[in-house]
Amino acid sequence: MAGEDRSPGTAPRAAAPDETPDLYGAYPRLTPKQIRFLSGHGTRRPVAAGEVLIREGDRGGDFYVILGGSVAITEYYGTSDERLLRLHRQGRFLGELGLLQGQVAFYTAHAREAGEVLVIPVDRLRVLVARDPVLGNLVLRAYLGRRTMLVGAGAGFRILGSRYSSDTRRLREFAARNWLPHRWIDLETDAEAEALLRRFSVAPEETPIVIWREEQVLRNPGNAELARLIGLSTPAADGDHDLLIVGSGPAGIAAAVYGSSDGLATTLVDAFATGGQAGTSSLIENYLGFPSGISGSELAERGVLQARKFGARVRIPAEATSLEPDGGHYRVTFTDGTEALGRTVVLATGAHYRRLDVPGIARLEGTSVFYAATVYEARQCGADPVAVVGGGNSAGQASLFLAERVPRVHLLIRGASLGAGMSRYLVDQIERHPRVNVALDTEVREVRGDDTLRSVVVEHIRTKERRAVDACSLFVFIGAKPCTDWLSDVLALDDEGFVLTGAEAEARAAPGVWESQSRGCLRLETSLPGVFAAGDVRSGSVKRVASAAGEGAMAVHHVHDHLGHTTAGLPGPGDDLPAPSGRSAAPGGDPHASATDAHPLHMTGGEGR
């Protein structure tokens, strides 16, 4: 068991017959030495049978170590629907990921038997686990495992809505991408849907609804409203930021880790969820230090926890709509009307997969046509075959992930070779997998189905022969489009909309922007001094998780370079922002670039695409 401190030949104490077993390190028992260490920073107190320690729906709280008695973890505590989830005894600790992130509790913890607990404020816990890496890894591993189990058990809030509703799909995707425990109740097929509608006096046309703790109902809430209910997001911060990071894929998270650990007042914002495209990867296997692989969602959660540990603020959802100079700073405006000022800005908005433009596809997107392959999408496939379109790593990873859950995966590739755009380790696994069928030189021409997908019509590029492939779902990974529409009149972009940096950006900058600076444009700097781009959004970047994380770290190195120079030439408040002088740029070097150590530990986990 992780973190055990015992004499040779002494076995760890086994779980009691009624105690929940330690599954995958989610419920470890602290050693006597660890408990003694924690006791110096907390308070011991008795608990009576039935006493509630953590109540479902409450935010924050304390870290509890059980010293005696037993504690039950239940859902819907005190109602007719009460359900026992876990039972813990002496030596175990309470809490899950939401405790460290400031979210509400998705369960109630109460003493089943009288006993004693050690109580430590959560802010103090964050300091202690940072000082003790063994203890820190034990707690983090347990909390990540517990969140995974809560998600898998369907605990938390409920989303009731139609599978054919775009708002239902939006809420489900937001909850899934942000790893929020929840359960979906299908308006058309779930037996309990009608009873819930009557209980809460909701008409079918008023769905989707979110049901929280059997007492609160949100009618078709926006993503921001749901985030506030759960405590997902940090409120908008007043005042200036040393570093404002827009986009929370691997590049943005790495920048947040390095910026906050360097003492910069750092805020990380994202329009939808942490992780970017990497966050939709089911298993990332080829990054140094993770021989067994890591899922994109866990990758993102680890990185965000690391950034929060160093003091970074995280705000989700917050979609940026404009960037403009303001008194030696930059002002970023968001869709909800709020604003943030940053002395420097790192753009890490990444890119999204291009839509497949074929007849009949629009009506099926979100119900049986997907642009990500996570547990959320896989659950909707049932026991029918699926099709995957694309020849890159993301398509390969999705095919292998889905092949463990469905009887047949049809991988449709436009190119003539499986290995042309895919890593060798994925090619080898796909070629050996009995449930993955590869079709080369193949393009999708049509999708068929009314409410859900029934089949995909494909065409062989050379022979022009067409055939129908039976599939209940279609997963599309066919290239990326940068998320830069809001920057097109602000920064110099290349012909495909990616942000130019370094010498190319300086050459295309508006007249007068760089002449007043005492230095040249840094390698990851855009056509505006103090605004940097990292990861997939940057023109010429290597579209890999490891490279994106490295660029995020290197961008912070450049931030320090910029802050060490004068910014007197930056446009002031009310000044017009000169338009960049065009998108196209010739290749060029950057004599001002410098190297940096770029390896955020426990944050990057592999190649997401």
pLDDT of the residue at 236: 63
Q: Within a 10 A sphere around the Cβ of 130, how many other Cβ atoms?
A: 13
Range from 42-46, 421-425, 597-601, 603-607 that averages highest in pLDDT: 42-46
Residue 280 has pLDDT above 80, yes or no: no
Mean per-residue pLDDT for 113-119?
97
> With bands split at pLDDT 50, 70 and 90, how would you rate the model's confidence at 297?
confident
Q: Of the candidates 26, 28, 33, which has an alpha carbon nearest to the alpha carbon of residue 1? A: 28
Q: Which of 275-289, 494-508, 581-595 has the lowest mean pLDDT?
A: 581-595
pLDDT at residue 504 greater than cutoff 90: yes
More confident call, 578 vs 311 = 311
Residue 496 half-sphere exposure toward CB, CA atoms < 13 A:
12
Distances (CA, A) of 304 to 55, 274, 307, 352: 25, 8, 5, 21
Task: Using the CB atoms, write b or e for 341-368: b if 16+ within 10 Å.
Answer: bbbbbbbbbbbbbeebebeebeebbbbb
Q: How far apart are CA 101 and CA 558, in angstroms?
A: 29
pLDDT band at 17 (very low <50, low <70, confident <90, very high): low
More confident: 582 or 79 = 79
**Average pLDDT, stretch 92-115?**
93
Percent of the residues in the chain that have a pLDDT greater than 90, as a whole number: 60
**pLDDT(95) > 90:** yes
> What tens digit of pLDDT does each residue of 355-374 get?
888 988 988 887 889 888 87
User: How far is it, in rounded angstroms, from Cα 168 to Cα 160?
Assistant: 8
Cα distance between residue 305 and residue 67, in whole Å? 27
Examine the pLDDT at 608 and tell me if it is beyond 90: no
Which amino acid, one-letter code, is at 503? A
| Structure confidence by residue, pLDDT tens digits, 392-446 | 988 999 999 999 999 999 999 999 999 888 999 999 999 999 999 999 999 999 9
Handedness of CA 585, 589, 592, 594 (dihedral sign): positive
**CA-to-CA dists, residue 448 to 148, 436, 451, 456, 470, angstroms:** 35, 22, 10, 6, 10
Each residue's pLDDT tens digit, 178-193: 989 999 999 998 999 9
pLDDT in tens, 548-566: 999 999 999 999 999 987 5
Is residue 13 scored above 60 in pLDDT?
no
Tens of pLDDT, residues 122-138: 989 888 887 888 998 89
Weakest mean pLDDT among 20-24, 39-43, 139-143, 279-283: 279-283
Single-letter amino acid, residue 77? Y
Mean pLDDT of 285-306: 83
Helix (H) or strand (E) segment spanning residue 308: helix 296-309
- Is 490 in a helix, a strand, or coil? coil
Q: What confidence score (pLDDT) does residue 1 get?
A: 35
What confidence tens digit (pLDDT) does each residue in 40-87 have? 999 999 999 999 999 999 987 899 999 999 999 999 898 888 889 999
Q: DSSP 3-state assignment of 52?
A: strand
pLDDT, position 579: 55
Model confidence at 312, pLDDT cuts 50, 70, 90, reads very high
| The pLDDT of residue 347 | 98
pTM recorded for the entire structure: 0.81
Name the average pLDDT for the chain. 86
More confident residue, 405 or 285: 405
The helix/strand/coil state of 294 is strand
Q: How many whole angstroms separate alpha carbon 72 and alpha carbon 589? A: 62
Q: What is the pLDDT of residues 194-245, one digit of tens each?
A: 999 999 999 999 999 999 987 789 999 999 999 999 988 766 666 678 999 9
Instruction: List the end-to-end C-alpha distance of the chain, in Å, as a whole number.
Output: 34
DSSP line for 168-200 = HHHHHHHHHHTT--EEEEETTT-THHHHHHHHT
89-98, 284-293, 530-539, range with the lowest pLDDT: 284-293
Flag whether pLDDT at 332 surpasses 70: yes
Q: What is the DSSP letter of 11?
A: P
